[in-house]
Each structure stands twice: as C-alpha cells, then as structure tokens.
Chain A
C-alpha cells in the first residue's frame, strides 16, 4: 500500500482545488457534516468529538424522491428520479464513520440493488482521518474496528508531526483521485505514521460480540428488555444519527391537483407505529420489544445475514439520547 505525505498548507490547497474542480466537499462541522465552500474553514482535529449526526444523509438521504407521477382521469404516468452525478469528497471522516460503507454496501446490494445508494457511493471519495478522541460512549474496538481503521476510506490521513500528514492510499479509486493533485504530495514515510498510530489510545473492549450474538440467540424473551423499554422515550434519534441504520418509509406526496412524487424517507424502529399493521395489530407494541429489535438487528440478525455487525461503535446514539440510554452498557450486559 502506498503512502504519501502532505503538508498542512497543501492540504488546504488540495481542498481548494477539489472545490474549484466543481466537486462537493464535505467535512465535519459542529452538529453534522457540512458542504464546504471555503476550505480554509476546515479544522482537522483528530481529538474532536464525533459530529452529532453522521454523513449518512449524503449517501442515503433523509428524504429523497424516487419517482414522480402525474395522474390523468383514468391513468397515471411515472418518471424515475435520478441521482445527482456530482463527485463528492468526504474529508476528515472518523474511522467509525467510514466503516459504515462496508456495512451499508451489503444491505443495499443484497436481493435488490439500490441504484440511488450505489450511484452516490460510486461518486464518493472518502478521506478518513485517524481518531484520538475517546469518551465513555466510544466502543469501536468492541465491534471489530479501531481508531486507526482504514475500512471504508479511499485515502486515510495520519498526522505525523505538527505540519504534515501521512496520506495512505487505501483504494485504487483513491489513488486515481489524487493522481490529478500529485503536486501537493511528497513521498511518504510509513514508519512515522506507524509510530503515530501506535500512540493512539484505543477504547477498551467492552464486550465480545460473539458472546453477545450467542446470548441474543438464546434470550429473545428476557425481562431485561422491559427495563430498557421503560426508560426509552420512543424517538428515532438513535437510528437517525446512526451511520448504518437504514430503514426507510415510502410516502406518496401530491404537490398539485395532478402531480406528485414518491418519497423515500428515513424511518426508525423505535417509533411505536413502525410495525403498526393496518389491522390495528402491532407486533412490537411495547417499547421493550422495540429496543430488543434494535439490539438484535444490530448484533444478531445482520451478523447472521451478512457476517457484519450493524454498528460502527461510534457511540452517537448514546451520546445524543435524551434519557442517557447507553447502548454499549446494554450490549455489554447481554451476557449471562
């Protein structure tokens, strides 16, 4: 694997060129990832707290039209929606974010290949950044990742001294992309970046995902679920800030007497009406069952199906929870 070095100043120039070339440039802001107009605003900080929301909405938008329709007296015509084919560069994403691509690629290319997702991902260049932040909610190491994981990144940045970053070229797509900007890069020194990586304090491993998987398989009915359910308020904050939660809802929306669009919107399994049947029956009628579903989906069913944990360990859901429900704690308790 190739490695190059780029100075801080050149990194800014690099970003400026990206914007100048008409690409979208995304970088983490305070609450969410923002589209950047002026690259000098970007603050690259390995110690920064993860944004409240992941960049999921840029690959799997919170609301997107999938088709347009127009009604006649007796017939309807439809028109497929198209994805904007603009190249998008995500800059400075944490490994717990970039890891999401590996996980989401599976579900969106399973029995049905989701064009909207795949089209977008195709045009994505992901530039990851080593992470030195860790709080009580982080647990990437428990789900098979780490603060220095390159999974999902096309390029990966590691700060090696005050003024320089090592740029690891992870994929061919990444290599191809920086080819056009080679003037900013100099030859790399892998030993320096290795050293930097080793200094990173890794979050403690909180649970063994295999054991959890096993426990979940045996404890579908367990009084523990009710306890969590009593405290949970049934919002979808956890699902919507999650980089890998991917449930959606389809709604037809008229915007005039004859025309309208079909929207694909995020949905969250913690909503009471998520599984509400038209008959009035609700298989997950109480919150405990819904929370059980959340944990099972992430640590059991997805693993069964795709051999991936549906979680990057970023801790966003716990950090943002209004009633401080800590998923790490709950999963760690999923043992006998």
Chain B
C-alpha cells in the first residue's frame, strides 16, 4: 500500500471457552503474533451477533476474525451450531455485497490449539495487509466527515498514546 506505516486494525470476536483460552495458551506457550489484533470476549460463539461485525467495520476495522469451539465441542453443546448457520448467511451476504472474503474470516480454534490461534491470526493480518485499508467501507463513513478536516484540538491530553501527557 501507499502508506508504508499503515497497520491494519483487526478485531476478533471469540468465545470464552475455546478460542479465548486458546489465545491464552498461545501466550503461555510464548508464541508470537502481530499486535494488530484485539480480542473481544463473549461467552459463546453462538452469542456473536453478526451486527457486531458491521459495527466493527463501522469503527474502522480492516479485518475481522470470528472464532469459537469446534463443532460438537461447544461448551454449551449447540451454540456454535446455531452460529454456523448464522455465519453461513452473513458471510454469503457480505461477500455478495462486495466485501472480500479475507476481510471477514471465521475459524474454529479449541482451547488446546494455541498454535492454530496464532496461525489464524497471522493469516488474517497477512491477508488484510495484502488487501490494504478497508477504504470502501471507510468511504461510507466519510460522507460527512471529510468536509471538516481541521477539527480543533480540545485538549492535548486527549492524545492518549502520547507519552508525555500532563
């Protein structure tokens, strides 16, 4: 991409029992993956509403990972089976609307698959890096944003990543 320093923003919606724990295992095993991904924990993949995914895109996510327990292994028996039907439709729909497959990826990662978690995350990050920023979705949002590029800075302290705050 044109901006060399661009780093994609990746959100992962994961279930508490398998993928979150799998990610814990990746940590315990000191495996490495890119910092781009941030996890949002829900109890079960069955509880992941596809609208969360839209919301994350609205908030500038360049790629999204959704992951839960393998089929038959759901902590709640059947949550992921329902999720599977839901995801089938949602993924088909977004794909049809022109969102590339790589932007939204689904996987099953169990609590013992720390390595798989790392592989999955790395794949999402790499795929999204290759595709570049999710400009087309951003442009949906820019309709009324770009007109006023020079918003005044209220409070220097708001730049939260700046070290010398105060």
Contact = CB atoms under 8 A, between A and B. Distances in A.
Interface stretch (A68-76, A146-154, A197-205, A222-230): A68-76
Contacts of A65: 144
B155 A75 contact: yes
**Most A CB atoms within 10 A — which of B59, B151, B157?**
B151
Contacts of A82: 147
A32 interface: no
A71 B60 CA distance: 19
B155 A259 contact: no
A259 to B, nearest CB: 7
Contacts of B145: 255, 261
A37 to B, nearest CB: 20
Contact of B157 (A72, A76, A255): A72
B155 A79 contact: no
Given A65-B144, A79-B148, A255-B141, A70 B154 contact: yes
Contacts of B147: 81-82
B98 interface: no
A258 B155 CA distance: 11
Interface string B127-166: 0000000000000010011011001101101100000000
Contacts of A64: 144
Interface string B85-115: 0000000000000000000000000000000
B147 to A, nearest CB: 8
Interface in A240-261: 255-256, 258-259, 261
B148 A72 contact: no
Instruction: Tell which of A64, A71, A76, A255 has the most Cβ of chain B within 10 Å.
Output: A255
Nearest to A253: B144
B151 A79 contact: yes
A77 interface: yes
Chain A interface category by residue count: 20 to 34
A71 B158 CA distance: 9
Interface in B35-56: none
B152 A258 contact: no
Contacts of A73: 155, 157-158
A63 B144 CA distance: 10
Contacts, number: 38
Contact of A72 (B60, B141, B155): B155
B158 A261 contact: no
22 contacts: A64-B144, A65-B144, A68-B151, A70-B152, A70-B154, A71-B154, A72-B154, A72-B155, A72-B157, A72-B158, A73-B155, A75-B155, A76-B154, A77-B154, A79-B148, A79-B152, A81-B144, A82-B147, A255-B145, A256-B59, A256-B60, A261-B144
Contact of B154 (A63, A75, A81, A263): A75
A70 B141 contact: no
A82 B145 CA distance: 12
Contacts of B60: 256
Interface in A54-98: 63-65, 68, 70-73, 75-77, 79, 81-82
B159 to A, nearest CB: 10
A119 to B, nearest CB: 14
A73 B160 CA distance: 10
Contacts of B141: 255
Q: Which 7 A-B pairs give the minimum distances between C-beta atoms? A: A72-B155, A65-B144, A72-B154, A77-B154, A72-B158, A70-B154, A70-B151
Contacts of B59: 256
Given A68-B151, A79-B151, A258 B158 contact: yes
A310 to B, nearest CB: 29
A176 to B, nearest CB: 29
Given A68-B151, A255-B145, 13 more contacts: A65-B144, A68-B148, A70-B151, A72-B154, A73-B155, A73-B157, A75-B155, A77-B152, A81-B144, A81-B147, A81-B148, A256-B60, A261-B144
Contacts of B157: 72-73
Interface string A261-305: 101000000000000000000000000000000000000000000
Contact of B151 (A63, A72, A81, A259): A259
Nearest to A258: B158
Nearest to B151: A70
